[in-house]
Amino acid sequence: MFELFTNMMREEWRVHSTLFGSLSFALYPVMIFVIAFMGSFVLPFFAAGIPPGYPSIIIHAIFLLLGIMVGGFGLMGREVMNRRFGQASLLAYSARSLPITERHIFVVFVIKDTVYYLILCVLPFVFGFTVASPFLHIPLALPLLLFLTLTLAFLTGLALIFFLSTVYARSKHVFILLCICGILAGTTLYLSHSLTPVSLFPPLQLFYLFSWETLLVACAVILIPSVIAAMLFTTEFADTTRKYKPLFTSLARRLSFFPYPPLATKDLLDLERSGSFVGQVLFSFLIPLCLLWFLLSILTRILPAVSILLVFSILTGVIAAMMYTWLTMLDTFNTYSCLPISVPTLLSGKISSFTALQLIPAIFIAIVSIAAGGLAYLVPALVICLSVSFYTLGVTCWLTGLSPNVLIYDAKVLVSWFVLVVIALFAIIVLIVINPFYTLASSALFLPAWGFVKLSYAKWNTREQPGF
Amino acid sequence: MAPVIEARALTKMYGDTIAVDHVTLSVEKGALFGLLGPNGSGKTTMIKVLTGQTRQSAGSATVLGIDVEHDPIGVREHVGIIPEQETPPSFLTATEYLDFVGAIRKIPDVQKKADGWFDLLEFDDQRDVLCKDLSRGTRQKLMFTQAFLHRPSLALIDEPLINFDPIMQRKVKDFLIGYVKEGNTIFISTHILDIAEEICSEFAILNRGTLLFTGTVAELKARDQHLDDFFLSLVRADRHV
Ligand SMILES: Nc1ncnc2c1ncn2[C@@H]1O[C@H](COP(=O)(O)OP(=O)(O)OP(=O)(O)O)[C@@H](O)[C@H]1O
Ligand SMILES: [Mg+2]
């Protein structure tokens, strides 16, 4: 088991480091370190306006979210075993010919991914904070504790989604039942006011007051769902030959309002048939955002409701921009390399499919605005969400072309992405503070978005497309 | 008349590796041209450069009179290509994939044309299966169909027969020979010398990116030489340089 694990780690490292050169890839954690280090110095400024305790809630929430965003292993099913990087034959795939079970490989795969994210994101972040702490007169024990609790927060999110996505893959009915139970329990707790969110989240509780019992509970909350998920995991469905009546031509005719109907049709069929559409909407969009809404609503005591709604619109926009990766994930450029189709055409095809998908965040944010009683702010909320989403898309296209899932691991790319996106978000936050209706000006972001897309056409047209 | 394919000192580097090293070569209309060479000699790279899938590092090439560097899409519009790794889009069925290709290439009546291929290559029963779930050989059949759907005057095929059973190999060989007789041109790469000797009219031998020889199979036959002996002696001699 351990040998397979080390080989998978080594392979993961090689896949990434050969793509960007070892240095650029090794710099990735360094960049996160620097971001955390610098961020620590900003903290006191915020702390002045925020009641004590809130920064720690926010940081834990971020790591919980990170775990949630990467934990959808159950959705991958046979895709894990098949190919994550196009034709690059992965160990997870080739290990099939070894005398070990698929479940075994899958478990190793999940552990590998988890460790990988820990090393790449969690560790450098905490380390950055640790190094900054002496300058901020924070006792050194705090970062150490933080390391433990942030790791636990990350793993909690990961385990939760790992569990839910596996249940989802096994039985939609059980999944819906679980969700209803979860929502009911959540509302009851929320209405009864007897429990604070902190007491529901062991890692945070541990952060406030360390005790061995709490640590045990925190670990159990991670381990139990993970073990159940690993046991539920199945590759049974991998053995069927799937057949469909031809849909392409009729669908393409109905999608003729798209600039490139065949590309849009292919995107739609890919999303639908890979089973990733509903799964992605749930696990990469709705669940993280609902959780985020819950966390933000804790802040009502310090922020006006309008600001919270609009900040939430910003975050929804950023997460909505990730839909671009749903579209690029299922494709490799190899597919198109023998056809007379250029990279700019492919990019604009993906962008138009992306535009269609933006209906989801638009409807979502409209519902949230109305539910939150902010009907007056429906238009600003929508404008913010969509302009942030398209702006982020433009940046992503320009920096990563058709392979965002892979190229984002390049340190230079990550930092550029981060800087470009944060500048825009910061500008909108300033507008929110001045006057919520000024945020309508965020529609100006469509202009740079358009510019980045144009730049991306020129940039990726001349680059060699990697075969993943 | 201008050659169908013309490469002048064509060179492709991958970092420090020279995959194709100053290859000068021309292929005339109506040829069934075989590019031969051991593993890693640059055959696939050569086809990729000639079809504008990757840019050359130096030199130039025209295909059907179109410069591959300046108008790669134009080249791909007119030729048919079967890549080394057959990768039709995974979540379309075989039929739908051909519809997709037809839509991109703007081919009228795709399905009628496809039907002939489903019959010829005997995979009609697989037409509604997702490409992901097709066998390797069937995927190769699909890629064959895709490349000839628009009846290109030039087709470039990387290892055409490698995944086919003997019956299918026979059919495909006959098809290729017939296709060339109609005045079209075919460029194949292979390291299976028997096939080259059997069907090709002309051939070139590539080793470590350099062109060792170009000539016709007829010449070789006149000299009573077998292609495999000739190939081995050339490549071995080159290895000792
Ligand atoms: N994308 C790539 N990146 C780096 N090196 C490459 C790439 N593609 C090919 N090469 C290198 O270029 C050389 C030629 O490879 P190519 O695939 O053209 O050979 P080939 O003649 O098709 O071999 P085979 O008969 O095994 O298919 C090899 O040394 C190979 O390692
Ligand atoms: Mg090859």
B221 lines ligand 1 (CB under 6 A): no
CB contact under 8 A, B101 and A339: yes
Q: How far apart are CA A53 and CA A200, in angstroms?
A: 16
Q: Which of B12, B35, B43, B210 is the best mutation target for the ligand 1 pocket, counting ligand atoms within 8 Å of the beta carbon and taking the most?
A: B43
Of A240, A241, A248, the CB nearest to B99: A248
pLDDT tens profile A298-320: 667 667 888 888 889 998 999 89
Of the candidate ranges A115-124, A204-213, A221-230, A290-299, the one whose mean pLDDT is the lowest? A290-299
Q: Closest Cα to residue A446, out of A396, A392, A399, A371?
A: A392
Torsion A153-A155-A156-A157 (CA) sign:
positive
Mean pLDDT, range B2-17, rounded to an integer: 92
pLDDT tens profile A35-53: 777 777 766 666 665 566 6
pLDDT band at A444 (very low <50, low <70, confident <90, very high): very high
ipTM of the complex: 0.88
What does the pLDDT read at residue B82? 93
**Measured in angstroms, how far is the CA atom of residue B47 from the centroid of ligand 1?**
11
The DSSP letter of residue A121 is: I
- pLDDT mean across residues, chain A: 80
Mean pLDDT, range A198-205, rounded to an integer: 79
CA angle A238, A244, A250 (to 5 degrees): 145
pLDDT tens profile A69-119: 777 666 654 444 444 433 333 455 555 556 666 677 777 777 877 887 788
What does the pLDDT read at residue A73? 65
Residue A434: which H helix or E strand, with range? helix A411-434
What does the pLDDT read at residue A47? 61
By percentage, how much of chain A surpasses pLDDT 70? 81
What does the pLDDT read at residue A82? 47
pLDDT tens profile A345-395: 999 999 999 999 999 999 999 999 988 877 888 999 999 999 999 999 999
pLDDT tens profile B189-241: 988 888 888 899 999 999 989 998 898 888 887 887 787 888 888 888 877 66
- Per-residue pLDDT for A283 more than 70? yes
pLDDT tens profile A394-431: 999 999 998 887 777 777 888 899 889 988 988 998 88
pLDDT tens profile B84-119: 876 766 789 999 999 999 999 999 999 999 999 999
Query: Do the strands B202-207 and B210-216 form a parallel or antiparallel pair, or are they unpaired?
Result: antiparallel
Q: How far apart are CA A439 and CA A307, in angstroms?
A: 11
> How many Cα atoms sit within 13 Å of B37 on the Cβ side?
27
Which residue bears the tokens 């638009």? A362
- Of ligand 1's listed atoms, the one at least distance from the Cα of B15 is 4
Nearest CA owner, ligand 1 atom 18? B42
The CA distance from B166 to the nearest CA of chain A, in Å, is 25
Burial of A146: CB neighbours in 10 Å, binned 0-12, 13-18, 19+: buried
The DSSP letter of residue A118 is: I
What does the pLDDT read at residue A78? 46
- Per-residue pLDDT for B46 more than 80? yes
Of A240, A245, A464, the CB nearest to B54: A464
- pLDDT mean across residues, chain B: 90
Task: Convert A287-356 into a string of H (helix), E (strand) and C (coil).
Answer: HHHHHHHHHHHHHHHCCCHHHHHHHHHHHHHHHHHCHHHHHHHCCCHHHHCCCCCCHHHHHHHHHHHHHH
Q: How far apart are CA A57 and CA A199, in angstroms?
A: 12
What does the pLDDT read at residue A58? 73
Q: How far apart are CA A175 and CA A245, in angstroms?
A: 29
- Cα-based distances in Å from A334 to A151, A339, A358, A466, B84: 38, 10, 27, 8, 10
Q: Closest Cα to residue B95, out of A267, A246, A253?
A: A246
What does the pLDDT read at residue B26? 94
B39 lines ligand 1 (CB under 6 A): yes
B89 lines ligand 1 (CB under 6 A): no
- Of ligand 1's listed atoms, the one at least distance from the Cα of B45 is 18
Read off the tokens for B92: 């379309």
For chain A, domain boundaries:
1-239, 254-468
B37 lines ligand 1 (CB under 6 A): yes
What does the pLDDT read at residue A127? 82
Nearest CA owner, ligand 1 atom 31? B40
* Domains of chain B with CATH codes: 1-79+158-241 (3.40.50.300), 86-151 (no CATH)
- Cα-based distances in Å from A184 to A181, A188, A191, A279, A291: 5, 6, 11, 22, 14
Local structure of A455: helix, strand or coil? helix
Nearest CA owner, ligand 1 atom 6? B14
Q: How far apart are CA A29 and CA A123, in angstroms?
A: 8
Which residue bears the tokens 């240095």? A23
What does the pLDDT read at residue A303? 73
Q: Closest Cα to residue B20, out of B31, B6, B10, B34?
A: B10
What does the pLDDT read at residue A69? 75
- Per-residue pLDDT for A271 more than 80? yes
What does the pLDDT read at residue A83? 41
Of residues A244 and B177, more confidently modeled: B177
Indicate which of A239, A248, A268 best probes the interface with B, i.e. most B CBs within 10 Å of its own CB.
A248
